[in-house]
Amino acid sequence: MSIEFDSIQTLREALDGKAISATELTKHFLSRIDQLDPSLNSYITVEHERALSTAAAIDKKLMAGERATLLGIPIAEKDIFCTEGVRTTAGSKMLAEYRPPFDSTATANLAAAGVIRLGKCNLDEFAMGSSNENSYFGAVKNPWNQERVPGGSSGGSAAAVAGGLCVAATGTDTGGSIRQPSAFCGLTGIKPTYGRVSRWGMIAFASSLDQAGPMARSAADAALLLEAMAGPDEKDSSCLTVSVDPYSTLIRQPLEGMRIGIVRSLLAEGLSESIAEAFEDCRKGLEKLGATFVEIELMHHHHSVGAYYVIAPAEASANLARYDGVRFGYRCEDPADLQDLYLRSRNEGFGDEVKRRILVGTFALSAGYYDAYYKQAQRVRRLIQGDFLQAFDQVDMILTPTTPTTAFSLGENTEDPVAMYLQDIYTISANLAGLPAISFPAGMSLGLPIGLQLVGPHLKEATLLSCVHQFQQVTDWHHQHPRNWA
């Protein structure tokens, strides 16, 4: 039985046609996790008993004639979504044994749609990183080449899907953490409009930037998952109240008349030759499908990394202040007094990258520096958003690379934080502007996947998904997978 790289639609037909049961499907993936994940380290927690119990209940529903698109589909969740009674760590020693008393809204929505959760995936600690080397539970390996990173922070989710250890997975994206690992692992990953998916129960990094979304092999699969995850939530004041589009139906829209913007300045210095070639091939392919291309400018895009690495750490320093060794989370042994409790609990509980960002953020928010750094970064953020709004008067979406290179080697950038931060140079601006953006497979280079990105106006996820879906009807990059994992 070789079903680990099948689409959701193929598995749906098999389940409905009784060619396979939900229990058999779940056992297949759990067996692959047990056998193969020790070399990838993509999961932190595998939920054998819970997954099989859920599958058995779903088999009864299927026998009774119940039908739903995601009913019985095995997925994984990034270990930053709270799951009732199940360890939720955020990849940190600080929360290594935390068991929430509730489910996140995204988790609850997917459960209501009938998915089977296989387990919780590894990630950079508190979602801070671009390589998944910052996890307390160890680095994740890329299934295409285990000497390479899978990207971050949703690297565990990306590796699990790419390695055939689940059908699809959830991720979160604060500055590119769905799209960059999707590019490195040959997946389709979408960051929705800010507020399109509830953040309630999602452990916070930077509250004005964080957004949840799906990671899958194709736009069709991503559309099905996003349709289930998204929607209003009264528990999250930043969650949008507008209804969810039928993404899985709208992906059939043709590309005739679609205007796609290109920013030539983003295709110059620092971009690898193989990705530049894939970009040009993709452009030609989309033109054949009826799209037209327009050259545009994003005048302030080059300021996005600088603005992000002031705003995100500032918000992180505030969000992570709650981890003090008192209420929940890691607590140091035998503190001398309250101050010692605070200092040692935080020093021992947080990793180096998290400490670095807390320090940067606290400095940016401190008296005397708030105006010079944080306030100025927010002004730049508004200029970046204005550039996009002006561009979308001319075009329907914008095509860019997702990353400047393919997956880099483990340890290559760990001693150079700036080099690591520049991995997000193409993705950060969409988060600053709150825009939807999707990464999709568009080529290969030396055995490693190449991803490209489309950015669209607010709430135009359907447009992005349909564009990628049409591209995937005439290409097979999304069907490719690591040969030694079949």
Active site residues: 78, 153, 177
DSSP for 113-162, written as a single string = HT-EEEEEE--SGGG--SSS---TT-PPPBTTBTTB---SSTHHHHHHHH
Instruction: Give the span between the Cα atoms of 36 and 40, in whole angstroms.
Output: 7
**Comparing C-alpha atoms, which of 274, 264, 305 is closest to residue 423?**
305
Instruction: Give the span between the Cα atoms of 71 and 42, in whole angstroms.
Output: 24
User: For residues 172-191, b (16+ Cβ closer than 10 Å) or e, as one string?
Assistant: bbbbbbbbbbbbbbbbbbbb
**Is 143 within 8 Å of 188 (Cβ atoms)?**
no
**Is 349 within 8 Å of 93 (Cβ atoms)?**
yes
- Residue type at 368 in one-letter notation: G
N residues, the chain: 486
- Ordered alpha helix ranges (H), 324-415: 338-349, 352-365, 376-391
- Tokens 């080449």, residue located: 145
Instruction: Give the span between the Cα atoms of 188 and 65, in whole angstroms.
Output: 32
Task: Give the chain's radius of gyration (CA, Å).
Answer: 21
Instruction: Give the span between the Cα atoms of 302 and 265, in whole angstroms.
Output: 10
Q: Please give the order of strands across the beta sheet that includes 188-191.
A: 43-46, 116-121, 74-78, 168-173, 211-216, 188-191, 437-445, 448-455, 397-401, 259-262, 292-295
Instruction: Give the span between the Cα atoms of 178 and 168, in whole angstroms.
Output: 12
Q: How many CB atoms lie within 10 A of CB 28?
A: 17
- Residue 430: what are its φ and ψ, rounded to 5°? -65, -35
